[in-house]
């Protein structure tokens, strides 16, 4: 049996599918997921246990046996809680076999094998009857099928099927109810993650403006939610336009529908401004009375900000309206939440949606290519006018009227900057059809389609014919490549520079001319939880998960750094920053690996976050082909 796993190639920055042998350990994939974070979420665990215990008591008070169906059991923790709370039997469903195997071991280790049956199937494949997986329907439904968007992991179809086939009518459900909340805001910073703004270039002939194509400007953006740690977004980065609005609720104890629906809330703007972004989160009530509540609310909407539970498996959502709209304080509007079986999106209406036949709109999708090529941080980079000004300032120092410029970054506008600064001839290499198509549209919108040459191929495949027989006098890169997962994957620029060396003329300049890699030892306030050993979780032994985490840390691929937007995760430094390596782009990549080795002096105590080699650090950069 062949097994293929995705891996990032640190040389090219591209994601490749590599074949693993049949002994590949999928447990390390589990350990690198959010299981440790969930097991450390004490607020979640305590509230679930309180809700399960209350549900079991209600069933027992009716003189019935408590039969529990746990969909998406994971480690089996909720099933063990149910048995501890007095449930007579629990059917724990887990579709991912390595996780189901782990759940069997954890259940057995805690002495619950006689009352918990782990079923390694998707819940929609589970059967009920004398010959089925369950002899009869359950009367308590326990689930943890939620993601940051609430329904993004298929909660609605799973609930719909469970109510029709696996649980009794009007069963007890934990959680009992979920409510989605939204708040309309104006935020130039967040809006810059979704739209391409006009870019201003100061030249000797005056200001030039790079305008976005019409379809890029009108595009609603990427359909996927932007999930972030909203508590780390500065309040100065947005202006609140509405109160917190409860948009819709789902009662999990009754039949649930996965059909598309919309829910509207009338509100009066708190201030005048531009409606651009909807901030959204949800809470779950574990009991019918709503006394046991677990909320994802950010600090300004939280009932007790000082006692907030940090979690990374459930965060908050940023949704972008299709287009920004002016709003006037006190003039009523309708915020509409739409959802299908997996996704949520928002729109703003000026009349009651019940009277508007178009309100049941389709989920917005990108039709301009830009949101498929550039992720949200990339939009933010391109829209950063200060960043553009610095590039212009640097280019002025090296460009000459007779320069032949070659740009080798993906979907970069540096070629446009070079043209506006008076370069004789500009080439840009686009290795993907998507970036080639997007740049053509941008050039056409700015009347540059005949002034900048786009070459659609990988840079290392360039020929003299592609460059019209010219030698390059300036090799230019941001550098940025869409396949890069980590910042240093953009060192692919150095390999490109080496591959095109034959096309560089005498005295050719390379920009950037050099790069350096820096590091600092830090203690994260919260991020450590996603890999921290779990041990005993709410009185249950889950050390098997610790073994998986350790196995993952020992695994060769897990020693690589993982991409995290670090601004979302507060930390404090435990050392001075130090420079590890420098890379001279004026020269080709050396044939021998670059190596840096040294020691780090810690200036204060704290949790040691680097697990690879204590206080000594060794870093290699391999030559091409190695």
Contacts of 246 (CB under 8 A, 6+ apart): 179, 180, 181, 265
For the residues 304-328, what does the mean pLDDT come to? 95
Mean pLDDT computed over 268-276 = 98
What's the Cα-to-Cα distance from 456 to each of 58, 404, 460, 463, rounded to whole Å?
67, 18, 12, 12
In degrees and rounded to multiples of 5, residue 264 shows phi and psi of -120, 155
Question: CA–CA separation, 90 vs 106, rounded Å?
Answer: 15
Residue 452 has pLDDT above 70, yes or no: yes
pLDDT of residue 609: 41
- Residue 469: left (phi > 0), alpha (psi -120 to 50), or beta? left
Residue 156: pLDDT over 60: yes
pLDDT surpasses 50 at 13: no
- Mean pLDDT of all residues in 114-132: 96
Whole-angstrom distance, CA of residue 343 vs CA of residue 225: 8
The Cα-based distances of 300 to 260, 431, 568, 591 in angstroms read: 31, 45, 17, 55
Give me the catalytic one of 29, 94, 144, 285: 144
For 455, the enclosing helix (H) or strand (E) is strand 452-455
**Nearest-angstrom CA–CA distance, 92 and 90:** 6
The answer to whether residue 153 is catalytic is yes
**Residue 14 clears pLDDT 70, i.e. is over it:** no
| Four-point Cα dihedral 434, 440, 442, 444, nearest 10 | -150
* CA torsion, ordered 102, 105, 110, 116, to nearest 10 deg: 90
Of the listed ranges 345-349, 439-443, 543-547, the least confidently predicted one is 543-547
Could you read off the pLDDT of 554-564 as tens digits, one per residue? 544 445 677 88
Q: Model confidence over 364-419: pLDDT tens digits?
A: 889 998 998 999 999 999 999 999 999 999 999 999 989 999 999 999 999 999 99
Q: Mean pLDDT highest for which of 73-77, 137-141, 542-546?
A: 137-141
**Percent with pLDDT over 90 in the chain:** 70
pLDDT band per the 50, 70, 90 thresholds, residue 546 = low
Ranking 64-78, 139-153, 421-435, 600-614 by mean pLDDT, the lowest is: 600-614
Could you say which of 19, 29, 94, 153 is catalytic?
153
What residue segments make up the domains of the chain, in order of their start?
A: 34-174, 178-367, 384-516
d(CA 37, CA 50) in angstroms, rounded, equals: 20
Whether the pLDDT of residue 612 is over 80: the answer is no
Please provide the DSSP assignment of 554-583 as one string: HSTGGGS-----GGGS-EEESS--EEEEEE
In the DSSP assignment, the letter for residue 22 is T
- Enclosing H/E stretch for 60: helix 42-61
What is the model's pLDDT at position 356? 46
CATH 3.40.50.150 fits 384-516, yes or no: yes
**Is 384-516 in the same CATH topology as 34-174?**
yes
Structure tokens belonging to residue 389: 């000004």
Burial class (CB in 10 A: 0-12, 13-18, 19+), 129: exposed
pLDDT at 458 over 50: yes
> What share of residues in the chain are helix, strand, coil (percent, to 5)?
30, 30, 45
Strand bridging mode 245-251 / 177-186: antiparallel
The CATH architecture assigned to 178-367 reads Distorted Sandwich (2.70)
Query: Which is more confident, 288 or 574?
Result: 288
pLDDT band at 624 (very low <50, low <70, confident <90, very high): very low
Looking at residue 559, its pLDDT comes to 54
- List Cα–Cα distances, 167 to 51, 68, 494, in angstroms: 18, 9, 60
Q: Is 330 left (phi over 0), alpha (psi -120 to 50) or beta?
A: left
Chosen CATH of 34-174 out of 3.40.50.150, 2.30.130.10, 1.10.1040.10, 3.40.50.2000? 3.40.50.150
Determine the pLDDT at residue 487: 84
The model's confidence at residue 247, banded by pLDDT at 50, 70 and 90, is: very high
According to the model, what pLDDT value does residue 38 have? 84
The distance in angstroms from the start CA to the end CA of the chain is 28
* Catalytic status, residue 478: no
pTM of the predicted model, to two decimals? Answer: 0.90
């Amino acid at each position: 049996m062949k097994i293929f796993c995705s891996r990032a190639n640190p040389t090219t920055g591209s994601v490749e599918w590599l074949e693993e042998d049949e002994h590949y350990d999928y447990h390390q994939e589990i350990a690198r997921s959010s299981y440790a974070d969930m097991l450390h979420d004490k607020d979640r665990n305590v509230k679930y246990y309180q809700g399960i215990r209350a549900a079991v008591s209600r069933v027992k008070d009716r003189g019935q046996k408590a039969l529990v169906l746990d969909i998406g059991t994971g480690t089996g923790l909720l099933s063990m809680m149910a048995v501890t709370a007095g449930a007579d039997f629990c059917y724990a469903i887990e579709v991912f076999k390595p996780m189901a195997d782990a759940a069997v071991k954890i259940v057995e280790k805690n002495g619950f094998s006689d009352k918990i049956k782990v079923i390694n199937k998707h819940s929609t494949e589970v059967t009920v009857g004398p010959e089925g997986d369950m002899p009869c329907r359950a009367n308590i439904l326990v689930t943890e099928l939620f993601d940051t968007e609430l329904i993004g992991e298929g909660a609605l179809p799973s609930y719909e099927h469970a109510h029709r086939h696996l649980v009794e009518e009007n069963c007890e459900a934990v959680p009992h109810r979920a409510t989605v909340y939204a708040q309309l805001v104006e935020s130039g910073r967040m809006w810059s993650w979704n739209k391409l703004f006009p870019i201003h270039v100061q030249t000797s002939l005056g200001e030039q403006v790079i305008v976005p194509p019409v379809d890029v400007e009108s595009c609603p953006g990427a359909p996927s939610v932007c999930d972030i740690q909203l508590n780390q977004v500065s309040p100065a980065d947005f202006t609140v336009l509405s109160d917190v609005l409860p948009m819709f609720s789902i009662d999990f104890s009754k039949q649930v529908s996965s059909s598309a629906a919309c829910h509207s809330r009338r509100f009066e703007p708190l201030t005048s401004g531009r409606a651009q972004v909807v901030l959204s989160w949800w809470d779950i009530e574990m009991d019918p009375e709503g006394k046991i509540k677990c909320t994802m609310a950010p600090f300004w909407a939280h009932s007790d900000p000082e006692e907030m539970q940090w979690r990374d498996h459930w965060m908050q959502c940023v949704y972008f309206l299709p287009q920004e709209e002016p709003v006037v304080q006190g003039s009523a509007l309708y915020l509409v939440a739409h959802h299908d079986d997996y996704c949520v999106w928002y729109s703003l209406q000026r009349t009651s949606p019940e009277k508007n036949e178009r309100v049941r709109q389709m989920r917005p999708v990108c039709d301009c290519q830009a949101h498929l090529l550039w992720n949200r941080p990339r939009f933010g980079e391109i829209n950063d006018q200060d960043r553009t000004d610095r590039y212009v300032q640097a280019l002025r120092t090296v460009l000459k009227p007779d320069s032949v410029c070659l740009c080798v970054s993906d979907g970069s506008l540096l070629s446009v900057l070079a043209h506006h600064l008076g370069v004789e001839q500009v080439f840009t290499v686009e290795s993907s059809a998507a970036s080639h198509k997007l740049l053509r549209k941008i050039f056409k919108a700015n009347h540059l389609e005949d002034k900048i040459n786009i070459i659609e191929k990988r840079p290392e495949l360039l020929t003299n014919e592609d460059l019209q027989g010219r030698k390059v006098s300036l090799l230019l890169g941001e550098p940025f490549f869409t396949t890069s997962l980590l910042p240093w994957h953009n060192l692919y620029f150095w390999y490109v520079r080496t591959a095109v060396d034959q096309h560089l003329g005498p005295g050719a300049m390379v920009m950037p001319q050099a790069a350096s890699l820096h590091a600092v030892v830090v203690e994260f306030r919260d991020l450590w939880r996603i890999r921290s050993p779990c041990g005993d979780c709410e009185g249950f032994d889950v050390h098997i998960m610790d073994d998986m985490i350790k196995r993952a840390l020992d695994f060769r691929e897990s020693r690589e750094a993982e991409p995290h937007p670090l601004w979302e995760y507060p930390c404090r430094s435990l050392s001075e920053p130090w420079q590890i390596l420098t890379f001279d782009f004026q020269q080709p990549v050396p044939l021998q690996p670059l190596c840096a080795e040294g020691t780090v002096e810690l200036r204060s105590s704290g949790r040691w976050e680097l697990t690879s080699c204590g206080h000594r650090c060794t870093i290699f950069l391999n030559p091409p082909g190695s």
